[in-house]
Amino acid sequence: MASEQDVRAQLQRAGQDHLLRFWADLAPESRAALLAELASLEPDALREHCQRASAACAQVPGPLPDLEARLQPLPPELVGSAIRCDLETRLRWEEEGFRQIALNKVAVLLLAGGQGTRLGVTYPKGMYQVGLPSQKTLYQLQAERIRRVEQLAGQRLGTHCTVPWYIMTSEFTLGPTIKFFKEHDFFHLDPANVVLFEQRMLPAVTFEGKAILERKDKVAMAPDGNGGLYSALADHQILEDMKQRGVEFVHVYCVDNILVRLADPAFIGFCVLRGADCGAKVVEYSEISPETAGLRGADGSLLYNAGNICNHFFTRDFLDMVTREFEPLLKLHVAVKKVPYVDEEGNLVKPLRPNGIKMEKFVFDVFQFAKNFVAFEVSREEEFSPLKNADTASRDNPSTSRRALLTQHYRWALQAGAHFLDVHGVQLPEQSGEEALSFLPNGDPPALCEISPLVSYSGEGLEKYLQGRILQSPFLLDEDQARLLQPQEC
């Protein structure tokens, strides 16, 4: 272990020797922990990081019109649409996607290193329950979608197949996530096919360019953003593991989207058939100005209708190229945050206003390096409802996430021929389309219906359970209920 003198010299070289200002107050074990942490911070890199963070934060962002002047719509030949394609085309995409899954060439990779501070919880966001009738967490829903898509692919090609699940965590989420998965028996997935790894951490920095102490013996650290994926892949030999398993295509997604379709066969198939090395699912969703958002092309369609939802396709070869050649070129982005710290007297302060800078890389900043980038348009109602905020916020909160899933499942049940009684036992009117989705005062659909991913991945195969059935709200179609409703063969 490095000595105090060595570490102090390194910090002086980096202009960060204030990090040892409480040394005399620390017990031996706290001194050892602080030395170990500080010794891992290479002095030149630490100095450069702090200077870059302060300088980037001090820059006044350019006016939005300057950004919008550089916008260009994607050429139509690079865009596929699950919404506007004909049935034959969609089935061709799905068939190719299922074929690749059945050949064990597809993996999913979850970005789960964030702390969930906006949601207001102290545990990983994947462990969150939004209040579904089943009380399932985000992690459980995702694990069951993996199991179902494996089953569907295997049935189509008469094989047993595996979709490995890689989960990128951080210092904050690794331990709790491992414990949670073990407590839940990995949701009946083979633990050998669930690979957890950790992204790098970077010091939080004051506006003046000084690393922040969150305790007398601990530097305030933060994950290096979802774009930290690429260095983490190299750090933990994840691409080598994929190669050994025969994985060629990777579906990367964020933990907080309750509607995410893991290893979506249509998306995988579209990207593979187009020969893409990089792809992104998109929805009509953006934060550009209303004027720019309303611009239309000669055919009357919106020019800018492809909002990134952090749902990506990569070939393993492209990821390998990024980690070897392009990762150092990725830009660091500024996130101004409220960072707890110790003041000059050693007292813990929880600031009411942003006081620090966290530097992050973004996973989508590698799109520029792709030789064949494509976008795949999907329905927001079917595939995107992020959980970002506590219920005190007006959007992207537990209530909106829960309603998105329950509304989707209610729609699936109606399409499969089900009829519903409300909570008072009164049959709901026979309606179709948007009329059937007239919501209750609290925003929930007129009947509560939850369908387990183990029964249906994307609404398929429900007719044999629900056609002509009259169901009481709330209704939960899980594996046990499906067995009861399964038509008996003569």
Q: Specify whether 464 is located in the same domain as 348.
A: no
Is the distance from CB of 242 to CB of 107 less than 8 angstroms? yes
Greater confidence (425 vs 408) lies with: 408
Q: Specify whether 114 is located in the same domain as 245.
A: yes
Give, as one character, the DSSP assignment of residue 153: H
Q: Using one digit for the tens of pLDDT, what is the confidence trace for 455-467?
A: 999 999 999 999 9
Q: Specify whether 95 is located in the same domain as 165.
A: yes
Is the distance from CB of 178 to CB of 196 less than 8 angstroms? yes
Say what the pLDDT of residue 490 is. Answer: 45
Say what the pLDDT of residue 486 is. Answer: 83
Greater confidence (127 vs 443) lies with: 127
pLDDT at 332 over 90: no
Q: Specify whether 8 is located in the same domain as 132.
A: no
Q: Specify whether 312 is located in the same domain as 210.
A: yes
DSSP 112-148: -----TTTT-SS-GGG-B---TT--BHHHHHHHHHHH
Evaluate whether residue 224 is within a structural domain.
Answer: yes
Of 43-57, 357-371, 435-449, the range with the lowest mean pLDDT is 435-449
Say what the pLDDT of residue 144 is. Answer: 98
How far, in Å, CA of 176 to CA of 26, rounded?
28
Q: Specify whether 122 is located in the same domain as 21.
A: no
Evaluate whether residue 396 is within a structural domain.
Answer: no
Evaluate whether residue 394 is within a structural domain.
Answer: no
Q: Specify whether 41 is located in the same domain as 86.
A: no
Q: Specify whether 244 is located in the same domain as 171.
A: yes
SS3 content of the chain, % helix, strand, coil (to 5): 40, 20, 40
Evaluate whether residue 404 is within a structural domain.
Answer: no
How far, in Å, CA of 251 to CA of 262, rounded?
7
Q: Which residue range forms the structural domain that includes residue 429?
A: 417-485
**Cα-based distances in Å from 133 to 105, 115, 257, 326:** 35, 26, 18, 45
Q: Specify whether 290 is located in the same domain as 144.
A: yes
Q: Specify whether 49 is located in the same domain as 69.
A: no
Is the distance from CB of 247 to CB of 316 less than 8 angstroms? yes
Q: Give the pLDDT band (50/70/90) at residue 56.
A: confident
Evaluate whether residue 104 is within a structural domain.
Answer: yes
Say what the pLDDT of residue 74 is. Answer: 77
Q: What is the mean pLDDT of residues 144-153?
A: 98
How distant is the alpha carbon of residue 240 from its chain centre? 23
Q: Specify whether 10 is located in the same domain as 156.
A: no
Expressed in angstroms, the distance from the first to the final Cα of the chain is 74
How far, in Å, CA of 10 to CA of 444, rounded?
58
Evaluate whether residue 69 is within a structural domain.
Answer: yes
Evaluate whether residue 303 is within a structural domain.
Answer: yes
pLDDT at 61 over 80: no
Backbone angles phi, psi at 46, to 5 degrees: -65, -45
Evaluate whether residue 490 is within a structural domain.
Answer: no
Q: CATH number for the domain including 233? A: 3.90.550.10
Q: Give the pLDDT band (50/70/90) at residue 114.
A: confident
The count of structural domains within the chain is 3
Say what the pLDDT of residue 282 is. Answer: 92
Q: What is the mean pLDDT of residues 6-25?
A: 94
Of 185-189, 258-262, 294-298, 390-394, the range with the lowest mean pLDDT is 294-298
Q: Using one digit for the tens of pLDDT, what is the confidence trace for 152-200?
A: 999 999 999 999 999 999 999 999 999 999 999 999 999 999 999 999 9
Q: Could you tell me which residues come within 8 angstroms of residue 353 by beta carbon, excluding any fewer than 6 positions away?
A: 338
Q: Specify whether 33 is located in the same domain as 157.
A: no
Q: CATH number for the domain including 444? A: 2.10.10.100
